[in-house]
Each structure stands twice: as C-alpha cells, then as structure tokens.
Copies of this chain bind each other. A is one copy, B any other.
C-alpha cells in the first residue's frame, strides 16, 4: 500500500478534536432560545396492559405546561421503526411479511416503557412534574416473556396480523416448508458417525451506547418539519416521518447530530415520531426530548434473545455432514426487525463451513420485552455461541485441534457466502487462524494447560466468523455521493453516510483525497443534512466504507474524468494534443502519464471553469466553463464479507466461578485497512461488547416483565479493568469489490468473543455452557451438578 498518499495512514480522525475538546454538538447540547421540553409518559408498572382511562386534567393546570397530547391528538397511522419494510424489494417485502404495528402513543401497552402520551412544557422540570401528574388507568394483561409463553394457544394476541403471536417465520413462498435448506439433511444425518446437539439460550443484551437518545423537532411556519436526531439512518427516518405525517419528503428535514454511539439502537426510528408529534402540536416552537438512561433502556431496541437448537452430524474423520437448526427469537413488543435477524442468522450459519446439507428454521415470537432489533452483529453472535461451541464439542470428542478443524472446513474463495449465489471473492480466514494461533501461543499453551491441576484453570478458545459488508442481496444497498470541486481545488463531499464514532467519515475523506490526488485537508465531508445529500441506506450491516466508500470513489472518479477532458483543452492551448486517456490526476495536477512534467493544476482548471476567465485579446475562454461536480448513485453488485478468528485465554476460578479474560488475539481479514487505528478501534470495541455478551450482560426481568437492571449501575459491562491484554492482527488481501480493497469491520469484532470465550472456558474446565451469560453462579452450579472437582 506504500504507493498511497493517505489510504492506510492514521490521519487525524475528522471528528476527534471536536469530541475531545467538547465542541462536538450532541443533540442534548443543542439549545434554541424559547425551546420547549417534551416528556413522554410511559407505562412503567406493566409489561402488558390496556389503557382504560387517561386523565390530563390535573397535569394540564400545572405551571409551565404548554400542551399535553395523547393518542387522540396524533395520527393513528401505524409504522415500523426498522429498515426492512422500505429497503427490501417491494414484492419481497410482502413475501417476508413485514408489518407496521407501532403507534406514536398506544392504548395497548406491549412492554414496560411503552409511550402513552406526552407533555410539552416550558422547562424540563415542569414537563417531568406534569408527566407525573397524569393519571393512567390500566387493565393488566399477562406478561409473556418467552416465545413459548406468547405462542401458547390462549395467549393474548399482540396484533391480528400475526396469529399465534408468531411475528415471523421463513416465508414459504421463498423457502418451501419454511426452511432454508440444501442437500438431503435427513439422509446426511443417517450417514453420520455421530451428532452433537443441544439447546441454547443467548441473553438480551443492551447496546448501552454512551449517548442516550435525544431529539429536537420544530414544525416551522412554512410547513416544514425539522428534526435533530442522532439516528444512524437519516434518509430512512426522513422517509418514514414524511409518510407518517403525510408530508412530502422535501418538507421533512433531518439534521443528524453527532452520534454518541449507536451499535444498532439508532438504526431506524426511536423517539422521532413522538418528538415530531409534539412539535407539530406547537407549530413554530422547538421541542426537545431527552431520554433518560432508563427510558433509553426500556424503549430502544436491543439484541434478540432466543431459544436456539442445533444438531450437527459428523463423520469420525471430522467431516461435517449436516446441520439442522431451529432459531427462535424473542421479538419483544413490536415487529421492527422481525424478519431481519431471524433471516440473517441462517445466513451466518450457511456461510461458515463446508457442510453438505443444511436445514435452518428461523422464527420470531412477540414477547412483552423491549423490542429486539438491530445490534452489532445482528444475529451473528447468537450463531457464534451455538455453532462454535458445538464444533469444539465435536473436536474434543474427535481429538482434533479446533484450529486445524476450522482451517480445513471453513468456507473459502468461490464458496457461496451467507446467501446462495454470492460467492466469496476473497477469504483470508486460514491466515487469520494460523497467525492468531501463532500470536497467542495456541499449541504451546493448550498443551501446557492440558496438564494443569488445582482450582485455578486456564484455557484457550477460538472462534471464527464470516460477517458482511453491507446487506446485499437481502437489502438493496445504495449510496449517493456528490463531489463539488471549488475554485481553489478544495472539495466538498456530500454524502449521507453516518459516522457513529467508528471513523467512517475519516475513511471516506481518505478515499476522496486518494482518488482525487488532493491533500486530505482540502476535503470536507458534509454528511449531516438530509436536504443536501442524496440517498444512503444508513449505517447498518458494516457497510459504510464498503458501499459508501465506493460511492465516494465513483463520484471522485467522475470529477477526475471531467478534469481529464478539460485538461485536454488547456493542453491544446499549449499546443499539446492529448486525449483524456493519456492523462492522470495526481498530486493536485492533471498530467500526461508518459511525461508527468507536463501538467495543469487542478485549481487552474477549476477556477477557469467557475470564473470562465476570458482572454481580453482573443475573447476566448481560457478553458472550459462550468463548475465541476462529480456524482455517483452507487448500488453495489456484490458483498464481500470479512472473516476473522478470535483467540481467547481465560482463567477460571473453580471455587468462586469467576472468569478472568487473560489475553485475546483478534485477527481480521480486512482487505485493506484504510485507517488502521479505526479498524483496531472497532476490533477493540467489539471485543469489549462481545466479552460482556458472553460473560456478564443480560437484561433481567421480574415475573411481571418489569426490568430489574435498567441502568449502568445494575447492568455489568466490561470496563477497562476487566479487559484482557489484547492484540489485533490485520490481514490485508485486497478485495476486488471494496474501495482500495477494503472489506468491513464495524460489527465483526463483536461476533467472535462470545464463542471463543465459551470455548476457552470449555478448554479450561471441560464444561460447555448453553445459556448465556456464563456467570460465576452458572459455573458453580454446573460444577456442582456435574460433581466435578479441581
């Protein structure tokens, strides 16, 4: 990569100075004179109930109250907070069965925290006090906290559109028998020498991003609805708000504020409908809605928990013959990503190993939990926990080294990926496994720990993953980019891609600078205003650099093509006859490839174009008139997944059940690390969330479906002192479809720690845990149940 000027360099991240100096404006920081404050009244005492009576009378009289609105004051159009109903091919959307089952304010509470009505007041305190004075009478309904409970024949129905409370199953129109399958699964199992099989449960994990959801909206006097939000999906939220409120999209403006972390919980609408409804109730006034941490926790979408069953059949030589799996997700109170996670989970499974036959059934059932939606990994951590443990169980039985088994059986270049018909173009997973094993001392330590004795036991585990670079072909990826060349050869890049802190804006700016041959500092990314950017699906599916980066490249190449065309005219005035293909754009110049001394400055072409300088003697223009603007509306034709292997070393205290994560090596098949520090940052952050997922994090509910740990005090994440010594290894084998060869990294790092840690514990104490998180209590209980001594 040494020929690159900025690609591969750790240039200063474009957002970093503003963030560390406190200048970055998060939604909560924004203040507009005369601003009102909104407070949503939520059902806090029931997970499932009907609203019998709403009484605003006392609250209405309280000082500072401007207006109180409930279900009767807002549109009763239903909506879907997620992305899938918009972005999947129209006919396919109908087949998938995505529905709109959510309302701004509800009369049928489907989870604790559901929104009932809202107060608009002149101060935050007044809004809170009035909200507390609103009287809501409920008729409690049974709280269904598992798929089994809500699937029971006599259960209350969440929506008539989904009988039996089954939100989703693979659609028969695409998958006969509602199964994703290849090969003859039953025949393959019949040939198996043995099977491994188990039932698993992966817990409900919260994104726990630093910035709680926060919004400001204003319905302007000219009929424009303006909303400030830290959404990951500005264009889709713009579209959805326009439809919800019956406005043309050009009358809905989204200002994307600085995002203090998203991880999927800002993927789609969250508090925008309520906030905008409040704003529309007080035209001309700004209304600010700041979620408390508890509100964020109770109402914004989290990871799907679920019941996962899997069976794998093997030959005694380790050959995997068949996989049979049924994954049942707990949907929570609303549909949202009902189809998405259940669908993709099958994909991650299908894309991992060379197995002759596969059958996957994916379903989702409504439950009275906070809705499950998108969360970094989007079903892949769940798959990893199940599949990778069963593989290690088989390896242990066969006496095969788990690394060697994976090197032999992982899917590779040319194999179909997570969706049939999209083969892998590149795959460096073998190198990931080999280099990772080497780095952590796999063989030596595994051999050493096999002989250890005493109550403190160490173990090493590995897991691998394939992820995705965008959602092709399930969702239609699309990013529009406009590149405006100013007269001084500085550049504006207009693109709606979202940077949640992952560094994608920096990477996109590097891509623009590299493609245009201009200094990084001369490029400015304009990304946050829905008025001026074209379509972009939003930040999901680890797609920003892979898809958005190609859009930026394509728009920059459009600029370069125009520069080459115009340079021919400039050269002609110098009596040099060239055609565009003889020229290259580099180092701020358009120059003749074979004779780089002959060059025209980009700034000269640009300024002549804008000011169209005319020679007063001849009356002729000194170049080609018109400002150069490049444009690309890029829809990728492919999806090049990244691969990775995670190695974890743990130490288990068999007397306390405590697990210490000692060391981690993460290897990642990145294609090209455009900004290596950001890539490593993603891997480090993924590790932190992955370790929490497997060891400490779970949203707990009481028997009535009320949350027991809705704050950072009660919800244990991995903190700095919990984190292991860790090392990241980047494998750069350029992918032909990614920008400068890059594949994704955003979610990938969060996928593998769950399986690798579980396998390390298995290696340490010989026990597999099927129900996460693997807490000290569960470890002690299992040691006791199995009567083990150390």
Residues of A within 8 A of B (CB): 14-15, 17-18, 21, 23, 29, 31-33, 86-87, 89-92, 95, 174, 220-224, 239, 242, 248-251, 284, 476, 478, 480, 482, 484, 486-488, 490-492, 494, 521-524, 526, 529, 531-532, 534-535, 609-617, 622, 625-627, 629, 631, 633, 635
| Chain B residues whose CB sits within 8 angstroms of the CB of A87 once the complex forms | 611
B611 touches A248 (CB 8 A): no
Smallest CB separation, A313 vs chain B (Å): 32
For A31, A33, A629, which residue has the most chain B Cβ atoms within 10 angstroms?
A629
A532 touches B529 (CB 8 A): yes
Tell me the bound Cα distance from A249 to B610 in angstroms.
Answer: 14
B174 touches A86 (CB 8 A): no
| Chain B residues whose CB sits within 8 angstroms of the CB of A612 once the complex forms | 89, 476, 478, 635
Q: Knowing that A250-B491, A250-B523, A250-B524 are A-B contacts, what are 20 other residue pairs whose CB atoms are under 8 Å apart, sorted by A's residue number?
A: A18-B221, A18-B222, A21-B284, A31-B31, A31-B33, A87-B611, A90-B611, A90-B622, A91-B615, A92-B614, A224-B524, A242-B488, A476-B614, A478-B610, A478-B612, A480-B627, A484-B532, A534-B627, A534-B629, A631-B631
| Chain B residues whose CB sits within 8 angstroms of the CB of A522 once the complex forms | 248, 250
A616 touches B222 (CB 8 A): no
Tell me the bound Cα distance from A528 to B83 in angstroms.
Answer: 31
Tell me the bound Cα distance from A494 to B249 in angstroms.
Answer: 15
B633 touches A626 (CB 8 A): yes
Contacts A/B (CB < 8 Å), 22 sampled: A15-B222, A17-B222, A18-B222, A21-B284, A90-B611, A90-B613, A91-B615, A91-B616, A92-B616, A250-B486, A251-B521, A476-B613, A476-B614, A478-B627, A524-B531, A529-B532, A534-B627, A534-B629, A535-B627, A612-B635, A625-B635, A631-B631
Q: Which 8 A-B pairs have the closest CB atoms?
A: A532-B532, A626-B633, A248-B490, A250-B490, A250-B524, A249-B486, A89-B614, A17-B221
B631 touches A635 (CB 8 A): no
Closest to A23 in B: B221
Tell me the bound Cα distance from A239 to B484 in angstroms.
Answer: 15
Closest to A521 in B: B248
A613 touches B91 (CB 8 A): yes
A633 contact from B242, B613, B625, B631, Cβ within 8 A:
B625
Closest to A247 in B: B490
Smallest CB separation, A290 vs chain B (Å): 15
For A18, A92, A535, which residue has the most chain B Cβ atoms within 10 angstroms?
A535
For A14, A224, A476, which residue has the most chain B Cβ atoms within 10 angstroms?
A476
B90 touches A250 (CB 8 A): no
Smallest CB separation, A79 vs chain B (Å): 16
- A492 in contact with B524 given A90-B613, A612-B476 (CB within 8 Å): no
